[in-house]
Structure 1
Amino acid sequence: MLSLQEHVEKRMCEDDHLFFTRRFFKPRMGFKFMVNWHHIYIAYLIDEVIKGHIDNLVINVPPGAGKTEMTTNLIPRGIARNPRSRFLYLSFSQSLVEEVASTARNIVKSEDFQKLWPVNISKSSDAKSNWKTTVDGYDAGHVYGASMGGQVTGRRAGTLADEGFTSKPVRPTQGDVPTIGHGTTVYPNGKAVTMHDKPISRQTADYYLKDHISKVEKQFKHSIPNVKLAQSEYDAYIDFVYQFGIGTFNQSSIRINLLQGNYVQACKALLKYKYTAGRDCSIRSNNCYGVYVRQNNRYEKCMEANQ
């Protein structure tokens, strides 16, 4: 069990890139990370990327100024925040690719990291420039590095949706339709999930999830043409549509506010969806409190881009 100090340290590492960099530099190098003003600024920009405020970031500083150190730490910090994170590290030099990817792997494997975030690395894929994390015994996150001319096609970066997993059909709360896998209610072939369906594997569930999200993204983009969103807003709304459906979104005040450019009001409108089967899920005794918590998480993520 973590002490109060360790809980604070864990939260600071997840929220502050410079803090994370300094925290894991000394155990690895044997001396403190010497902070200059440009490190503070680079860390700030990286945090803005994570929040979704910056879509593309180019860092131009002289060699030896700490750029590689700062960006290398983005990998283990991302995995600390979400072990299903996937990274692509591309460079002209193969030796640099291997050095960065292996450094990130060593940080994740370190005793200090494991105490705060007990993340497992897959035994089947643990090379210097190509390694995976596992969740519940299944491949989840992925770090893949490649140099000039290396194979990149077919590789992905980002994170999977934060969904639980059930191998058998269930009703998450009273009144819900049957779901399976990561919350799938309709199979890729269009057939609705029923309580009599056979169990599925996690790999099959991941396939259903990716297929569903792909369809959701197309529907979502079509419903709000020319609306520009920060990554954190986009993620929150995609998660909403994944759960409630595009029909609910199209008829919502969320969509109306987005089309009118009222981004803060659109975020606040997420909080209206705290009901299921007529029950107010903000009341714990109604046995659906998770719905309310999830809506608040979406709202907080959405507001990150509007503060």
Structure 2
Amino acid sequence: MDLRELAKAAQGKLHLLTREEQEILLKELEELELHEDKEQCRNSYMAFVKKMWPGFIPGRHHEIVAKAFEDVISGKIKRLIINMPPRHTKSEFASYLLPAWFLGKYPDKKVIQTSHTAELSVGFG
């Protein structure tokens, strides 16, 4: 029985545990939730974006771009061009958040960013 199943089974019976046992259970559940949250962010670009950008309101185009980025990272897509109007999070998604997610997923890798101007490239990273 895993920790979540144990906690669910104990629901309604927590009063039978000592205060110390309740605190230990709560701490372990919080650690489990944190671990699961980290794993979800490591495996899903969109989960990472939502975690790093709390006020972010995703649109359908964000889901499509996030999936395309995941496919690039996994090797399913070899080349990708993103064309969207201004103010649709191209820079935030591709130049700020994607390198951070990629390096969190593959800390032994390196990222090179280029741009049409040096100032813009430096600003991204």
TM-score by length of 1: 0.30
- 1:1-307 residue pairs with structure 2 within 5 A? 3-26=31-54, 32-71=55-94, 72-101=96-125
Ranked by relative contact order (alpha carbons within 8 Å, sequence separation 6 or more), the top structure is 2
Identity %: 25
Give, in whole Å, the separation in 2 of the partners of 1:83 and 1:44: 21
Give, in whole Å, the separation in 1 of the partners of 2:120 and 2:31: 37
Structure 2: gaps of 5 or more residues: 1-27
| Deviation of the 1:10 alpha carbon | 0.8
Q: Which residue of 2 aligns with 1:124?
A: none
Give, in whole Å, the separation in 1 of the partners of 2:85 and 2:114: 19
Flag the structure with higher helix content.
2
| Deviation of the 1:11 alpha carbon | 0.8
| Deviation of the 1:95 alpha carbon | 2.5
Give, in whole Å, the separation in 2 of the partners of 1:82 and 1:48: 15
Give, in whole Å, the separation in 1 of the partners of 2:41 and 2:100: 10
1:257-294 deviation digits (Å, cap 9, x = unpaired): xxxxxxxxxxxxxxxxxxxxxxxxxxxxxxxxxxxxxx
Q: Which residue of 2 aligns with 1:187?
A: none
Superposition RMSD on alpha carbons, in Å? 1.6
Please tell me the residue identity of whatever aligns with 1:89.
Q
1:208-266 deviation digits (Å, cap 9, x = unpaired): xxxxxxxxxxxxxxxxxxxxxxxxxxxxxxxxxxxxxxxxxxxxxxxxxxxxxxxxxxx
1:152-209 deviation digits (Å, cap 9, x = unpaired): xxxxxxxxxxxxxxxxxxxxxxxxxxxxxxxxxxxxxxxxxxxxxxxxxxxxxxxxxx
Please tell me the residue identity of whatever aligns with 1:3.
E
The 3 A distance-change label for structure 1 pair 48 and 84 is same
